[in-house]
Amino acid sequence: MKLPAALRLSPTLAPYVFLSPFVILFAVFGVFPLAFSLYLAFQSWEPTSGLGAMEFVGLSNYAFALQDEWFWKSLKNTAWLALASGVPQHLVAIPLAVFIHTSFKRLRNGVVGAYFMPYITSTVAIAILFSSLFSTDYGLINVGINVLSQVPVLGGLMPANPVDWLNDPDNIKPAIAMIVFWRYVGFNVVLYLAALQTIPADIYEAATMDGAGRLQQFFHITLPSLKPMIFFGVTLSVIGGLQLFEEPFILTGGRGGSDQSGMTAAIYLYRMAFDFNDFGAASAMSWLLFILVAALTWATNRAFAPRKGTA
């Protein structure tokens, strides 16, 4: 089928035509919302009163957010959760990836798949399942703790009474952190496995010849070689941890839990908009949170980036 010459795309025009569907959607649903949210953060507005009822209020939404006790509390919760779920992910994923890399050949894909599977499943389904597993009287996790507490030595470490995971303000955060850890550790294992494959085997052979043991090799060859990936993985965990929403949202019934102890910043800004109808304050909070994410990403970058001359 030949088109008439007038209808045929010229090679100079073609890229614009090919890009336009994506670019139009990207502009309308990707870039414009950001600009609009920046605008909204300086306005006072309630959704019931129509778009015309917006009123410029300067920085007062930001001032409100910064003086809001619950906003600070949600930030603290988020930081706690990001650290408590993020740090163990890497501490476990690195040795795990090393074990898989050195000792698994044929079963490797199956094993990696098992660790990765939580990452691709529905957070909602998972959070619902865990809210039953964490139930105080009959939940499988407390039943497991109870069984372990009968074991000598180990039993002494276990709590004597059933743990009220989801209603006690002190326990909800560890419960959420456990789910997040379970969900993302496999993703990190895959990252580290990919990085391990790029380390040349002859470095290890040379080290073995020189009499370096496994631990020495791990600390002097493996770990330094993994540094760029550790930086990348930690950055992803920081960005991901600070936007934690779905797991705590489901586990706390969308409200943030007793004493708001499971309320992350993302949940709070959702509630600020959709439960408390303050879209301006919610937008201001989202920008404050964005600045925090950007600053922390930058700081992780600084902390892990190879210094000039050593790399």
- Residue from 172, 175, 266, 288 that binds other proteins (CB under 8 A)? 266
Structure tokens at 272: 């600020």
- Residue from 83, 87, 112, 199 that binds other proteins (CB under 8 A)? 112
Binding to other proteins (CB under 8 A): which residues in 4-63?
Answer: 8-12, 14-19, 21-23, 25-26, 28-34, 36-37, 40, 47, 51
- Residue from 53, 63, 76, 102 that binds other proteins (CB under 8 A)? 102
- Residue from 65, 82, 96, 263 that binds other proteins (CB under 8 A)? 96
Phi-psi category of residue 58: left, alpha or beta, with phi > 0 → left and psi -120 to 50 → alpha: left
Binding status of residue 118 toward other proteins by CB under 8 A? yes
Nearer to other proteins, 172 or 269 (CB): 269
Rounded Cα–Cα distance for residues 12 and 37 (Å): 35
Q: Which residues contact 77 (CB under 8 A, 6 or more apart)?
A: 173, 260, 261, 262, 263, 264, 265
Nearer to other proteins, 18 or 72 (CB): 18
Nearer to other proteins, 139 or 256 (CB): 139
Binding status of residue 109 toward other proteins by CB under 8 A? yes
Rounded Cα–Cα distance for residues 10 and 12 (Å): 5
Q: How many residues bind other proteins (CB under 8 A)?
A: 101
CB of 309 to other proteins, least distance (A): 26
- Residue from 132, 200, 220, 295 that binds other proteins (CB under 8 A)? 132
Binding status of residue 150 toward other proteins by CB under 8 A? no
CB 77 within 8 A of CB 176: no
Binding to other proteins (CB under 8 A): which residues in 270-289?
Answer: 270, 273-274, 279, 282-283, 286, 289
Rounded Cα–Cα distance for residues 276 and 273 (Å): 6
CB of 150 to other proteins, least distance (A): 13
Binding to other proteins (CB under 8 A): which residues in 156-215?
Answer: 182, 185-187, 190-191, 194, 213-214
Binding status of residue 299 toward other proteins by CB under 8 A? no
Residue 36 three-state SS: helix
Query: Following DSSP, what letter does each residue of 176-236 receive, concatenated?
Result: HHHHHHHHHHHHHHHHHHHHHTTS-HHHHHHHHHTT--HHHHIIIIIHHHHHHHHHHHHHH
Residue 306 three-state SS: coil
Binding to other proteins (CB under 8 A): which residues in 235-264?
Answer: 236, 239, 242-243, 245-246, 249-250, 253-254
- Residue from 48, 106, 138, 202 that binds other proteins (CB under 8 A)? 138
CA Rg value for the chain: 25
Residue 2 three-state SS: coil
Binding to other proteins (CB under 8 A): which residues in 56-95?
Answer: none
Which among 165, 126, 123 has a CA at the least distance from the CA of 144?
Answer: 165
Structure tokens at 64: 């409100």
Q: Which residues of 60-82 are buried (b: 16+ CB within 10 A; e: fewer)?
A: ebbebbeeeeebebbbebbbbbb
Nearer to other proteins, 189 or 310 (CB): 189
